[in-house]
Amino acid sequence: MTPDTLLPPEDDSEAVAPGPEIDPHDEQAVIDPALFEDTREEPPFARTVLTTPLHLAVAAESRTNRWTTWNGYTTPAILTDLGDEYRALRGGAAMMDISPLVKYRIAGRDARPYLDRLVTRSLDRLEIDRALHVVLCEGSGFVLGDGMLFRLDEDEYRLVTEETHLAWLLDSAAGFRVRIEDVSASLAAISLQGPLAAAILAEAGVVDIADILPSASRWTEIAGMPAYLSRTGANGDLGYEIWIDPDDAPHAWRHLLEHSAARGLVPAGFALRELARLEAGFPRAGKDYLSAFAAIDSADARTPFDLWPEPLIDFEKPLFNGREALRRLVLVESQRRLVPLVVDGLEPVRFAAIHANARQVGTATSIGFSPALAANIALATIDVAALAAPDLTVRAEFREGLSVNEIMLPARVLTEPAWNRPRRLSLPALLQP
């Protein structure tokens, strides 16, 4: 051994004295609290992959190993086959992990006036255990985001959005006696959608499921565990969403699968959620429009009139963000509008630019192949002056062998979404399709 590899001499003075002997049968024994401390130290950059509370339960259903990211979380793109998942959604039921949605708890005696200041629509009709679609605008009337607002109690609300808005929500709370918390990590969520969704929940033990109104919610039990169940979803059909403690979520997921074998419930991934909301005509923040704070070019910012055919704006409210700007904008026709589009062709193709009279008049922001229409569909922002043009076309790309070919395909604006079934709003909810 060389001097630098010699073992250091033992020093009894540094030896750690043994602790007091503990009698395992003595319930009053003094226990060192350090035994229960988590000594692992993980730098903030070490965790590069975020997983939802349902990750392991969902991964067990994967037959493709196809994953994607959603709000920083790893989530399945397709679990089995997109065609099989789609047929289950439209003919039976599909279940998805939607935990990556951003969720805020807003509570306090000023919660109602605070939210009235932020959203464009009136909250007068928002009762306890009900939900409303709301739009958030900044002072110039441009959209920051949209989402579902649930009223949980007299002075307690939950705001569910696609993107994070915590800094803006906190800044906007100045002068209000209100508490805003991001509860995304402490609240898991399961989406159960399709014509058999109510029947599956009934067989899983949820009582009086057929009596829940559209956009209503209530506390229930699934597999003996408390869950907040809402009749909401973005698929244009009957559906429910389950808001549940992260530790209970995997058990609820498995319970629903086990009690729906006869109904053919199929777990599904993010690709199906995207296709379903595209067929239903729902825009997604960050995909079909940019938050006004994220739009580097002011031309990319959108108003509610650009995004929704009948935006929910209540000008009778005395004050809300962007009110005066929106009052001026309502008198001026939008220069562009987000519309559903159908493109001729029996095969899936990729496209972005929308043309009319040999010039580009719009951009497709979400595209997909709709089995319901047997055609390619899109949500596209198009110049209003070109909406009635008889010669709308898209420059589509398709693969042929190792080559990429381009072709101009005819397109037209849809007057209604590709999928919008009356049973979405039926009461009582149908237990049979």
What pLDDT score does 339 carry?
96
Report the range out of 6-10, 25-29, 274-278, 422-426 with the highest average pLDDT. 274-278
pLDDT at 1 over 50: no
pLDDT at 311 over 90: no
Buried b (16+ CB within 10 A) or exposed e, 174-213: eebebebebebeebbbbbbbbbbbbbbbbbbebeebbebe
CA distance linking residue 234 with residue 134, whole number of Å: 14
Of 18-27, 40-49, 306-315, 345-354, the one with minimum mean pLDDT is 18-27
Secondary structure (3-state) at 184: helix
DSSP summary character for residue 285? B
Confidence of residue 76 (pLDDT cuts 50, 70, 90): very high
CA distance linking residue 59 with residue 408, whole number of Å: 40
What pLDDT score does 381 carry?
97
pLDDT at 184 over 80: yes
Secondary structure (3-state) at 240: strand
| Residue 406: C-alpha distances to residues 91, 170, 344, 413 (Å) | 35, 48, 14, 22
Every domain range in the chain assigned CATH 3.30.1360.120: 50-99+187-280
| Residue pointed to by tokens 């649930």 | 150
pLDDT at 78 over 80: yes
Report strand pairing: 179-182 vs 359-370. Answer: unpaired
CA distance linking residue 106 with residue 104, whole number of Å: 6
Every domain range in the chain assigned CATH 2.40.30.110: 337-427
CA distance linking residue 304 with residue 187, whole number of Å: 29
Angle at 385 between CA 381 and CA 386, to 5 degrees: 65
Secondary structure (3-state) at 40: coil
What pLDDT score does 347 carry?
87
Confidence of residue 325 (pLDDT cuts 50, 70, 90): very high
CA distance linking residue 310 with residue 327, whole number of Å: 14
CA distance linking residue 421 with residue 307, whole number of Å: 22
pLDDT in tens, 187-200: 999 999 999 999 99
Confidence of residue 386 (pLDDT cuts 50, 70, 90): very high
Distant-in-sequence, close-in-space partners of 41: CB < 8 Å, separation ≥ 6: none
Q: Which CATH number fits domain 102-185: 3.30.70.1400, 3.40.50.620, 3.40.50.300, 3.40.50.720?
A: 3.30.70.1400
pLDDT at 18 over 70: no
Angle at 429 between CA 427 and CA 431, to 5 degrees: 145
Backbone φ, ψ for residue 404 (5° rounding): -110, 120
Of 7-21, 48-62, 234-248, 324-338, the one with minimum mean pLDDT is 7-21
Residue bearing the bigger pLDDT, 93 or 18: 93
CA distance linking residue 131 with residue 214, whole number of Å: 9
pLDDT averaged over every residue in the chain: 90
pLDDT at 349 over 80: yes
Residue bearing the bigger pLDDT, 302 or 389: 302
CATH of domain 337-427: 2.40.30.110
| Residue pointed to by tokens 């109904």 | 263
CA distance linking residue 386 with residue 391, whole number of Å: 9
Every domain range in the chain assigned CATH 3.30.70.1400: 102-185
Of 101-110, 319-328, 402-411, the one with minimum mean pLDDT is 402-411
CB distance 244 to 225 below 8 Å: yes
The pTM assigned to this predicted structure is 0.87
Length of the chain: 433
CB distance 355 to 395 below 8 Å: yes
pLDDT at 204 over 70: yes
Mean pLDDT of 403-415: 91
CA distance linking residue 30 with residue 18, whole number of Å: 15
For domain 50-99+187-280, the CATH architecture is: 2-Layer Sandwich (3.30)
